Amino acid sequence: MFIRSLTLRDFRSWEHAELELSPGRTVFLGSNGNGKTNLLEAVGYLATLGSHRVSSDAPLLRMGAGRARIGATVVNTGRELRIDLELNQGAANRGQINRSPVRRPRELLGILQTVLFAPEDLALVRGDPGERRRFMDELCTALLPRLAAVRADYDRVLRQRSALLKSAGRQARSRADLSTLDVWDGHLAEHASVLLAQRLRLVHELHPHLASSYASIAPESRPASIAYRSASLPPEFLDPARTPSPDDVEALAEIMLRELVAARPKELERGVCLVGPHRDDLELMLGAAPAKGFASHGESWSFALALRLAAFELMRATGAEPVLLLDDVFAELDRRRRAALAAVAAGAEQVLITAAVPEDVPAELAAAPLRVATVGEGDGRISQIAPLEAG
Protein backbone atom coordinates (compact mmCIF):
# COMPACT_ATOMS: atom_id res chain seq x y z
CA MET A 1 0.00 0.00 0.00
CA PHE A 2 1.22 3.50 -0.79
CA ILE A 3 -0.06 7.05 -1.23
CA ARG A 4 0.37 8.33 -4.76
CA SER A 5 -0.85 11.88 -4.10
CA LEU A 6 -1.76 14.00 -1.09
CA THR A 7 -3.81 17.21 -1.15
CA LEU A 8 -4.40 19.65 1.71
CA ARG A 9 -6.55 22.74 1.86
CA ASP A 10 -6.69 24.95 4.97
CA PHE A 11 -5.33 22.18 7.18
CA ARG A 12 -3.28 23.48 10.12
CA SER A 13 -0.57 25.76 8.64
CA TRP A 14 -1.23 24.67 5.06
CA GLU A 15 -3.38 26.96 2.93
CA HIS A 16 -2.88 24.60 0.01
CA ALA A 17 -0.53 21.72 -0.75
CA GLU A 18 -0.38 19.12 -3.50
CA LEU A 19 2.23 16.36 -3.29
CA GLU A 20 3.00 13.55 -5.70
CA LEU A 21 4.44 10.65 -3.74
CA SER A 22 5.81 7.22 -4.59
CA PRO A 23 6.78 3.96 -2.87
CA GLY A 24 10.01 4.04 -0.89
CA ARG A 25 11.24 6.61 1.60
CA THR A 26 10.37 10.29 1.58
CA VAL A 27 11.86 12.77 4.04
CA PHE A 28 10.34 16.16 4.87
CA LEU A 29 13.04 18.43 6.29
CA GLY A 30 12.32 21.63 8.18
CA SER A 31 12.75 23.50 11.42
CA ASN A 32 10.28 22.99 14.23
CA GLY A 33 7.04 24.88 13.67
CA ASN A 34 7.31 24.96 9.89
CA GLY A 35 4.50 22.47 9.25
CA LYS A 36 6.20 19.18 8.42
CA THR A 37 4.41 17.28 11.19
CA ASN A 38 1.10 18.62 9.89
CA LEU A 39 1.62 16.62 6.68
CA LEU A 40 1.91 13.34 8.58
CA GLU A 41 -0.93 14.32 10.88
CA ALA A 42 -3.17 14.78 7.83
CA VAL A 43 -2.24 11.34 6.48
CA GLY A 44 -2.85 9.77 9.88
CA TYR A 45 -6.23 11.50 10.13
CA LEU A 46 -7.34 10.03 6.81
CA ALA A 47 -6.44 6.57 8.10
CA THR A 48 -7.96 6.78 11.60
CA LEU A 49 -10.32 9.81 11.55
CA GLY A 50 -8.37 11.16 14.49
CA SER A 51 -5.26 13.19 15.27
CA HIS A 52 -2.35 11.90 17.31
CA ARG A 53 -1.83 15.41 18.70
CA VAL A 54 -5.27 16.80 19.65
CA SER A 55 -8.61 15.30 20.70
CA SER A 56 -10.89 17.63 18.73
CA ASP A 57 -10.99 18.82 15.12
CA ALA A 58 -11.06 22.57 15.81
CA PRO A 59 -7.24 23.04 15.95
CA LEU A 60 -6.90 21.25 12.58
CA LEU A 61 -8.59 24.07 10.67
CA ARG A 62 -6.27 26.85 9.53
CA MET A 63 -6.91 30.02 11.48
CA GLY A 64 -9.80 31.91 9.93
CA ALA A 65 -11.00 28.99 7.79
CA GLY A 66 -14.43 27.44 8.24
CA ARG A 67 -13.40 24.07 6.85
CA ALA A 68 -10.35 22.00 6.00
CA ARG A 69 -9.90 19.34 3.34
CA ILE A 70 -7.60 16.33 3.13
CA GLY A 71 -7.42 14.07 0.09
CA ALA A 72 -5.24 11.18 -1.01
CA THR A 73 -4.98 8.70 -3.83
CA VAL A 74 -4.18 5.30 -2.33
CA VAL A 75 -2.78 2.36 -4.29
CA ASN A 76 -3.22 -1.10 -2.79
CA THR A 77 -2.28 -4.28 -4.73
CA GLY A 78 -2.75 -2.43 -8.00
CA ARG A 79 -6.15 -0.96 -7.09
CA GLU A 80 -6.34 2.83 -6.91
CA LEU A 81 -8.87 4.71 -4.78
CA ARG A 82 -9.29 8.41 -4.11
CA ILE A 83 -10.46 9.39 -0.63
CA ASP A 84 -11.38 12.90 0.49
CA LEU A 85 -12.40 14.25 3.87
CA GLU A 86 -13.85 17.65 4.70
CA LEU A 87 -13.59 18.87 8.30
CA ASN A 88 -16.26 21.46 9.08
CA GLN A 89 -16.41 23.93 11.91
CA GLY A 90 -19.73 23.55 13.72
CA ALA A 91 -21.06 20.91 11.32
CA ALA A 92 -20.61 17.23 10.54
CA ASN A 93 -17.52 16.16 8.63
CA ARG A 94 -18.07 14.75 5.13
CA GLY A 95 -16.22 12.11 3.15
CA GLN A 96 -15.93 10.96 -0.44
CA ILE A 97 -14.64 7.82 -2.15
CA ASN A 98 -13.69 8.31 -5.80
CA ARG A 99 -15.45 11.71 -5.66
CA SER A 100 -18.75 10.13 -4.58
CA PRO A 101 -20.14 11.19 -1.17
CA VAL A 102 -20.46 8.56 1.56
CA ARG A 103 -23.09 8.55 4.29
CA ARG A 104 -20.54 8.67 7.11
CA PRO A 105 -16.81 9.48 7.15
CA ARG A 106 -16.11 6.14 8.86
CA GLU A 107 -16.80 4.43 5.53
CA LEU A 108 -13.31 5.63 4.55
CA LEU A 109 -11.70 3.48 7.24
CA GLY A 110 -9.63 0.60 5.93
CA ILE A 111 -8.81 2.15 2.56
CA LEU A 112 -5.62 3.75 3.90
CA GLN A 113 -3.76 1.99 6.70
CA THR A 114 -0.90 3.62 8.56
CA VAL A 115 1.31 3.12 11.58
CA LEU A 116 2.56 6.37 13.05
CA PHE A 117 5.39 6.73 15.57
CA ALA A 118 5.75 10.16 17.17
CA PRO A 119 7.20 11.73 20.33
CA GLU A 120 3.66 11.73 21.77
CA ASP A 121 3.84 7.92 21.91
CA LEU A 122 5.70 8.11 25.21
CA ALA A 123 2.22 8.65 26.70
CA LEU A 124 1.37 5.06 25.75
CA VAL A 125 3.69 3.99 28.57
CA ARG A 126 3.55 6.91 30.99
CA GLY A 127 0.09 8.31 30.31
CA ASP A 128 -3.42 7.54 31.49
CA PRO A 129 -5.32 4.33 30.54
CA GLY A 130 -7.25 6.32 27.93
CA GLU A 131 -4.07 6.53 25.81
CA ARG A 132 -3.73 2.75 25.77
CA ARG A 133 -7.45 2.18 25.15
CA ARG A 134 -7.19 4.46 22.14
CA PHE A 135 -4.15 2.54 20.89
CA MET A 136 -6.07 -0.74 21.12
CA ASP A 137 -9.25 0.60 19.54
CA GLU A 138 -7.52 2.32 16.62
CA LEU A 139 -5.52 -0.82 15.87
CA CYS A 140 -8.63 -3.02 16.20
CA THR A 141 -10.46 -0.73 13.79
CA ALA A 142 -7.58 -0.75 11.31
CA LEU A 143 -7.74 -4.55 11.29
CA LEU A 144 -11.56 -4.66 11.32
CA PRO A 145 -13.04 -1.39 9.97
CA ARG A 146 -16.64 -2.34 10.83
CA LEU A 147 -15.66 -2.01 14.48
CA ALA A 148 -15.88 1.78 14.05
CA ALA A 149 -19.67 1.50 14.03
CA VAL A 150 -19.60 -0.62 17.19
CA ARG A 151 -17.40 1.93 18.94
CA ALA A 152 -19.75 4.75 17.92
CA ASP A 153 -22.78 2.80 19.15
CA TYR A 154 -21.05 1.97 22.44
CA ASP A 155 -20.13 5.62 23.04
CA ARG A 156 -23.71 6.71 22.27
CA VAL A 157 -25.25 4.15 24.64
CA LEU A 158 -22.69 5.00 27.34
CA ARG A 159 -23.66 8.68 27.19
CA GLN A 160 -27.39 7.88 27.35
CA ARG A 161 -26.99 5.42 30.21
CA SER A 162 -24.74 7.81 32.17
CA ALA A 163 -27.30 10.59 31.81
CA LEU A 164 -30.03 8.26 33.07
CA LEU A 165 -27.91 7.22 36.06
CA LYS A 166 -27.39 10.86 37.04
CA SER A 167 -31.09 11.59 36.67
CA ALA A 168 -32.18 8.50 38.61
CA GLY A 169 -29.67 9.21 41.34
CA ARG A 170 -31.03 12.72 41.94
CA GLN A 171 -34.69 11.67 41.92
CA ALA A 172 -36.74 8.98 43.62
CA ARG A 173 -35.90 5.74 41.88
CA SER A 174 -39.21 4.95 40.22
CA ARG A 175 -39.99 1.63 38.62
CA ALA A 176 -40.04 3.36 35.22
CA ASP A 177 -36.50 4.70 35.73
CA LEU A 178 -35.13 1.26 36.59
CA SER A 179 -37.04 -0.40 33.73
CA THR A 180 -35.47 2.07 31.29
CA LEU A 181 -32.08 1.37 32.81
CA ASP A 182 -32.60 -2.36 32.16
CA VAL A 183 -33.04 -1.58 28.46
CA TRP A 184 -29.84 0.47 28.33
CA ASP A 185 -28.00 -2.29 30.21
CA GLY A 186 -28.87 -4.67 27.38
CA HIS A 187 -27.66 -2.26 24.71
CA LEU A 188 -24.43 -1.54 26.59
CA ALA A 189 -23.69 -5.24 27.09
CA GLU A 190 -24.36 -5.96 23.42
CA HIS A 191 -21.90 -3.39 22.08
CA ALA A 192 -19.38 -3.88 24.89
CA SER A 193 -19.13 -7.62 24.21
CA VAL A 194 -18.13 -7.06 20.57
CA LEU A 195 -15.56 -4.41 21.49
CA LEU A 196 -14.14 -6.55 24.31
CA ALA A 197 -13.87 -9.63 22.09
CA GLN A 198 -11.84 -7.68 19.53
CA ARG A 199 -9.59 -6.13 22.18
CA LEU A 200 -8.89 -9.54 23.71
CA ARG A 201 -8.13 -11.00 20.29
CA LEU A 202 -5.82 -8.07 19.57
CA VAL A 203 -3.84 -8.57 22.79
CA HIS A 204 -3.53 -12.29 22.03
CA GLU A 205 -2.21 -11.61 18.51
CA LEU A 206 -0.08 -8.58 19.40
CA HIS A 207 1.67 -10.16 22.39
CA PRO A 208 4.30 -12.24 20.52
CA HIS A 209 5.11 -9.36 18.15
CA LEU A 210 5.55 -7.02 21.11
CA ALA A 211 7.85 -9.43 22.94
CA SER A 212 10.12 -9.95 19.92
CA SER A 213 10.16 -6.25 18.97
CA TYR A 214 11.15 -5.20 22.47
CA ALA A 215 13.84 -7.90 22.68
CA SER A 216 15.38 -6.65 19.42
CA ILE A 217 15.44 -3.06 20.67
CA ALA A 218 16.60 -3.67 24.23
CA PRO A 219 18.09 -7.17 24.50
CA GLU A 220 19.74 -6.36 27.83
CA SER A 221 16.45 -5.33 29.43
CA ARG A 222 13.83 -7.40 31.21
CA PRO A 223 11.34 -9.14 28.86
CA ALA A 224 8.30 -7.11 27.85
CA SER A 225 4.74 -8.38 27.87
CA ILE A 226 1.19 -7.08 27.67
CA ALA A 227 -2.10 -8.17 29.19
CA TYR A 228 -5.66 -6.92 29.17
CA ARG A 229 -6.87 -5.58 32.51
CA SER A 230 -10.55 -5.39 33.43
CA ALA A 231 -12.25 -5.55 36.82
CA SER A 232 -15.35 -6.88 35.05
CA LEU A 233 -13.90 -10.00 33.42
CA PRO A 234 -12.87 -13.31 35.00
CA PRO A 235 -9.13 -14.11 34.98
CA GLU A 236 -9.37 -16.80 32.31
CA PHE A 237 -10.37 -14.19 29.73
CA LEU A 238 -7.41 -11.95 30.59
CA ASP A 239 -4.59 -14.40 29.83
CA PRO A 240 -2.93 -13.20 26.58
CA ALA A 241 -1.99 -16.82 25.82
CA ARG A 242 -5.68 -17.79 25.70
CA THR A 243 -6.92 -18.42 22.15
CA PRO A 244 -10.08 -16.38 21.46
CA SER A 245 -13.24 -18.38 20.79
CA PRO A 246 -16.12 -17.69 18.36
CA ASP A 247 -18.43 -17.91 21.39
CA ASP A 248 -16.66 -15.08 23.22
CA VAL A 249 -19.12 -12.35 22.19
CA GLU A 250 -22.11 -14.19 23.66
CA ALA A 251 -20.21 -15.12 26.84
CA LEU A 252 -18.91 -11.59 27.31
CA ALA A 253 -22.41 -10.12 26.88
CA GLU A 254 -23.69 -12.37 29.69
CA ILE A 255 -20.77 -11.35 31.91
CA MET A 256 -21.40 -7.66 31.24
CA LEU A 257 -25.08 -7.97 32.12
CA ARG A 258 -24.28 -9.69 35.42
CA GLU A 259 -21.69 -7.07 36.29
CA LEU A 260 -24.06 -4.22 35.44
CA VAL A 261 -26.73 -5.66 37.72
CA ALA A 262 -24.24 -6.10 40.56
CA ALA A 263 -22.85 -2.58 40.16
CA ARG A 264 -26.21 -0.80 39.88
CA PRO A 265 -26.50 0.36 43.52
CA LYS A 266 -23.04 1.98 43.38
CA GLU A 267 -23.73 3.44 39.93
CA LEU A 268 -26.99 5.03 41.09
CA GLU A 269 -25.25 6.41 44.14
CA ARG A 270 -22.36 7.90 42.15
CA GLY A 271 -24.23 8.70 38.92
CA VAL A 272 -21.57 7.16 36.65
CA CYS A 273 -21.18 3.95 34.66
CA LEU A 274 -18.70 1.75 36.51
CA VAL A 275 -18.74 -1.29 34.21
CA GLY A 276 -17.52 -1.62 30.64
CA PRO A 277 -14.52 -1.39 28.32
CA HIS A 278 -14.32 2.38 28.86
CA ARG A 279 -12.78 1.59 32.27
CA ASP A 280 -10.27 -1.07 31.15
CA ASP A 281 -6.55 -0.82 30.46
CA LEU A 282 -3.73 -2.44 28.53
CA GLU A 283 -1.13 -3.46 31.12
CA LEU A 284 2.49 -3.09 30.02
CA MET A 285 4.95 -5.22 31.97
CA LEU A 286 8.74 -5.37 32.17
CA GLY A 287 9.56 -8.62 33.88
CA ALA A 288 7.29 -8.76 36.94
CA ALA A 289 6.89 -4.97 37.27
CA PRO A 290 4.52 -2.61 35.45
CA ALA A 291 6.31 -0.38 32.97
CA LYS A 292 4.40 2.68 34.16
CA GLY A 293 6.18 3.99 37.20
CA PHE A 294 9.04 1.46 37.09
CA ALA A 295 10.54 1.78 33.60
CA SER A 296 13.46 4.12 33.02
CA HIS A 297 13.23 6.82 30.35
CA GLY A 298 15.09 4.59 27.88
CA GLU A 299 12.93 1.56 28.71
CA SER A 300 9.78 3.66 28.27
CA TRP A 301 10.91 4.77 24.82
CA SER A 302 11.78 1.18 23.95
CA PHE A 303 8.33 -0.02 25.01
CA ALA A 304 6.55 2.72 23.06
CA LEU A 305 8.61 1.92 19.97
CA ALA A 306 8.02 -1.82 20.41
CA LEU A 307 4.25 -1.28 20.57
CA ARG A 308 4.26 0.58 17.25
CA LEU A 309 6.59 -1.92 15.59
CA ALA A 310 4.41 -4.78 16.87
CA ALA A 311 1.35 -3.05 15.39
CA PHE A 312 3.16 -2.70 12.08
CA GLU A 313 4.12 -6.38 12.00
CA LEU A 314 0.62 -7.50 13.01
CA MET A 315 -0.97 -5.47 10.23
CA ARG A 316 1.55 -6.89 7.79
CA ALA A 317 0.64 -10.41 8.94
CA THR A 318 -2.98 -9.78 7.95
CA GLY A 319 -1.93 -9.10 4.36
CA ALA A 320 -1.96 -5.29 4.45
CA GLU A 321 1.26 -3.30 4.09
CA PRO A 322 0.61 -0.10 6.06
CA VAL A 323 2.27 3.20 5.28
CA LEU A 324 4.85 3.91 7.97
CA LEU A 325 4.84 7.47 9.35
CA LEU A 326 7.85 8.54 11.40
CA ASP A 327 7.36 11.97 12.91
CA ASP A 328 10.61 13.49 14.15
CA VAL A 329 11.43 10.43 16.23
CA PHE A 330 14.99 9.56 15.26
CA ALA A 331 16.36 12.53 17.19
CA GLU A 332 14.71 11.09 20.33
CA LEU A 333 16.26 7.62 20.03
CA ASP A 334 19.69 6.27 20.81
CA ARG A 335 21.79 4.36 18.27
CA ARG A 336 20.28 0.92 18.92
CA ARG A 337 16.69 2.10 18.81
CA ARG A 338 17.38 4.17 15.68
CA ALA A 339 18.85 1.11 14.00
CA ALA A 340 15.89 -1.10 14.96
CA LEU A 341 13.39 1.40 13.59
CA ALA A 342 15.48 2.01 10.47
CA ALA A 343 15.57 -1.75 9.78
CA VAL A 344 11.78 -1.91 9.75
CA ALA A 345 11.52 1.26 7.68
CA ALA A 346 13.96 -0.09 5.10
CA GLY A 347 11.59 -2.98 4.38
CA ALA A 348 8.31 -1.02 4.31
CA GLU A 349 6.62 -0.27 1.00
CA GLN A 350 6.24 3.44 1.78
CA VAL A 351 7.74 5.49 4.60
CA LEU A 352 7.08 9.19 5.25
CA ILE A 353 9.64 10.76 7.60
CA THR A 354 9.97 14.19 9.16
CA ALA A 355 13.28 15.50 10.48
CA ALA A 356 14.71 18.84 11.51
CA VAL A 357 18.12 18.27 9.87
CA PRO A 358 19.52 15.63 7.50
CA GLU A 359 21.71 14.24 10.29
CA ASP A 360 18.58 13.04 12.10
CA VAL A 361 17.95 10.46 9.38
CA PRO A 362 19.82 7.23 10.23
CA ALA A 363 22.66 6.19 7.96
CA GLU A 364 20.81 2.94 7.17
CA LEU A 365 18.07 4.99 5.50
CA ALA A 366 20.23 7.81 4.19
CA ALA A 367 22.27 5.28 2.23
CA ALA A 368 19.13 4.08 0.42
CA PRO A 369 17.36 6.10 -2.31
CA LEU A 370 15.47 8.94 -0.68
CA ARG A 371 13.14 11.64 -1.89
CA VAL A 372 13.64 14.85 0.06
CA ALA A 373 11.48 17.95 0.36
CA THR A 374 12.23 21.08 2.36
CA VAL A 375 9.34 22.49 4.38
CA GLY A 376 9.48 26.15 5.32
CA GLU A 377 7.34 28.94 6.66
CA GLY A 378 5.87 31.39 4.19
CA ASP A 379 4.09 34.69 4.75
CA GLY A 380 1.64 34.78 7.65
CA ARG A 381 2.74 31.43 9.06
CA ILE A 382 1.56 29.58 5.98
CA SER A 383 3.74 26.57 5.29
CA GLN A 384 5.43 26.05 1.95
CA ILE A 385 7.19 23.05 0.46
CA ALA A 386 9.97 22.71 -2.07
CA PRO A 387 9.67 20.14 -4.87
CA LEU A 388 10.62 16.61 -3.96
CA GLU A 389 14.10 15.64 -5.11
CA ALA A 390 15.91 12.32 -5.25
CA GLY A 391 18.55 12.09 -2.55
**What does the pLDDT look like over 347-384, one tens digit per residue?**
899 999 999 988 888 888 877 788 889 998 766 578 88
Is there a domain that residue 121 lies in? no
Is residue 378 a known part of a binding site?
no
Q: Which domain holds residue 84?
A: 1-113+320-391
Question: Residue 62 maps to which CATH number?
Answer: 3.40.50.300
Between CA 121 and CA 259 the distance in angstroms is 33
Q: What is the pLDDT of residue 170?
A: 60
Confirm or deny that 93 is annotated as ligand binding.
Answer: no
pLDDT tens sequence across 274-321: 999 999 999 999 999 999 989 998 899 999 999 999 999 999 998 878
The mean of the pLDDT values for the chain is 91
- Whether 340 maps to a domain, the answer reads yes
219 lies in a domain?
Answer: no
The answer to the question of whether 34 is labelled as a binding residue is yes
Q: How confident is the model at residue 67 (pLDDT cuts 50, 70, 90)?
A: very high
Packing angle of the helix pair 175-217, 335-347 (nearest 10 deg): 100
Q: Answer yes or no: is 5 a known binding residue.
A: no
Question: To the nearest whole percent, how much of the chain has pLDDT over 90?
Answer: 72
* Long-range Cβ pairs for the range 266-269 (8 Å, 24+): 267/165, 268/165, 268/168, 268/169, 268/173, 269/169
Q: Quote the number of domains for the chain.
A: 1
pLDDT of residue 141: 95
Read off the pLDDT band of 171 (50, 70, 90).
low
33 is in an annotated binding site: yes
pLDDT of residue 311: 96
9 found inside a domain:
yes
188-233 pLDDT tens trace:
999 999 999 999 999 999 999 999 999 988 888 899 999 999 999 9
- On whether residue 276 sits in a domain, the answer given is no
Least reliable range by pLDDT among 40-54, 168-182, 325-339: 168-182
**82-138: per-residue pLDDT in tens?**
999 999 998 999 999 999 999 999 999 999 999 999 989 999 999 999 999 999 999
The pLDDT score that the predictor gives to residue 31 is 87
Write down the pLDDT at residue 380: 57
The answer, yes or no, to whether residue 386 has pLDDT greater than 90, is no
292 labelled binding-site residue: no
Q: What is the mean pLDDT of residues 65-70?
A: 95
Q: Assess if residue 40 is contained within a domain.
A: yes
Tell whether 89 is covered by a domain: yes
Q: Is residue 295 part of a domain?
A: no
